[in-house]
């Protein structure tokens, strides 16, 4: 099963977080995203458009999206098919998803069906906190929601041949106060966002994690390129609020994956061996 039973996660997060300053004491200081039981909670489940230049798929102006905290009845997303970043086949894929929503049915959304979020979809799981584990050789990012982990290998290149997987292969390095994460090898079973924007296995994502506003927020600048799905390289942003709610809790999704609201229940991904 993809889901990991989480006994020991809390101790691991706290233990390594406490150890990291000592490990880094004889090296150049790096940004600390993980100390003192700190976690980060996404402000929304949608990518934020950049100040300028091509950005992510957004809501169809004729069918604006309203989330659960918009002060009115929420709805599901209808993608803007006129987005200039989309190649024709990606437009058609999104058109089919739009038709599901507009017919009154419930679309597939990874976090609601207990599927891995992929990258950059990993950044779009709100409410549940994101924890960091930092060591000199690796950075782990773990969503409390179903304990989805990403491993970022520091100061090493990508492998010569990468087998596509749910979170791909991530390598990273620090640039001053920023953690730069470069990811390739992403399975095309994942989607870019909650509009279900598709991609190919040529997807290449670069994320830049940096604390802002005196450490109260975590900013992630994202650059996406995939010549198989997009007409151009584009960028986006996500923001997280700092949370000090203690160690990670156990939150298993699959036991709750029931069709209580008359929508299809998708089979959970299974693997015979780890994909890393």
- What are the extents of the domains in the chain? 9-256
pLDDT recorded at residue 268: 66
Rounded Cα–Cα distance for residues 119 and 184 (Å) = 9
- Beta bridge partners, 169, equal 184
Residue 156 CA: distances (Å) to CA of 17, 60, 153, 210: 22, 41, 7, 21
pLDDT recorded at residue 109: 76
Helix (H, G, I), strand (E, B) or coil at 23: helix
pLDDT recorded at residue 147: 79
Report yes or no: 237 and 47 within 8 Å, Cβ to Cβ.
Answer: yes
Percent of the chain with pLDDT over 70: 78
Report yes or no: 139 and 23 within 8 Å, Cβ to Cβ.
Answer: no
Task: Characterize the bridge pairing of strands 138-143 and 39-42.
Answer: unpaired
Q: What mean pLDDT, rounded, does the chain reach? A: 85
pLDDT recorded at residue 170: 98
Rounded Cα–Cα distance for residues 45 and 125 (Å) = 6
Of the spans 23-32, 117-126, 142-151, 207-216, which averages the highest pLDDT? Answer: 207-216
pLDDT recorded at residue 60: 96
Rounded Cα–Cα distance for residues 242 and 39 (Å) = 6
Of the spans 2-11, 26-35, 67-76, 174-183, which averages the highest pLDDT? Answer: 174-183
Residues 120-149 have a mean pLDDT of 90
Contacts of 214 (CB under 8 A, 6+ apart): none
Rounded Cα–Cα distance for residues 150 and 256 (Å) = 23
pLDDT recorded at residue 23: 45
pLDDT band at residue 135 under the 50/70/90 scheme: very high
pLDDT recorded at residue 75: 78
pLDDT of residue 6 exceeding 80, the answer is no
Residues 187-209 have a mean pLDDT of 96
Per DSSP, the chain holds a count of helices (H) and strands (E) of 2, 9
pLDDT recorded at residue 252: 74
**Residue 268 burial by Cβ neighbours in a 10 Å radius (0-12, 13-18, 19+):** middle
């Amino acid at each position: 099963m993809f889901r990991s039973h989480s006994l020991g996660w809390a101790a691991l997060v706290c233990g390594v977080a406490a150890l990291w300053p000592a490990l880094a004491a004889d090296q150049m200081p790096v940004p600390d995203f993980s100390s003192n039981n700190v976690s980060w909670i996404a402000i929304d489940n949608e990518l934020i458009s950049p100040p300028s230049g091509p950005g992510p798929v957004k809501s169809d102006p004729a069918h604006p999206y309203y989330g659960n905290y918009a002060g009115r009845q929420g709805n599901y997303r209808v993608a803007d098919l006129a987005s200039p970043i989309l190649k024709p086949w990606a437009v058609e894929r999104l058109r089919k998803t739009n038709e599901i929503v507009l017919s009154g049915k419930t679309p597939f959304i990874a976090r609601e069906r207990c599927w891995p979020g992929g990258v950059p979809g990993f950044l779009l799981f709100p409410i549940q906190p994101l924890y960091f584990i930092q060591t000199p050789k690796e950075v782990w990012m773990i969503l409390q929601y179903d304990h989805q982990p990403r491993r970022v290998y520091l100061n090493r290149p990508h492998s010569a041949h990468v087998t596509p997987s749910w979170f791909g292969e991530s390598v990273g390095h620090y640039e001053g106060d920023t953690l730069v994460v470069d990811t390739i090898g992403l399975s095309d079973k994942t989607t870019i966002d909650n509009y279900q924007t598709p991609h190919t296995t040529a997807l290449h994502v670069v994320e830049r994690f940096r604390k802002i506003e005196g450490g109260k927020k975590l900013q992630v600048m994202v650059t996406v390129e995939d010549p198989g799905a997009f007409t151009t390289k584009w960028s986006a942003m996500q923001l997280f609020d700092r949370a000090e709610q203690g160690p990670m809790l156990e939150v298993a999704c699959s036991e709750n994956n029931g069709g209580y609201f008359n929508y299809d229940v998708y089979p959970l991904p299974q693997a015979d061996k780890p994909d890393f």
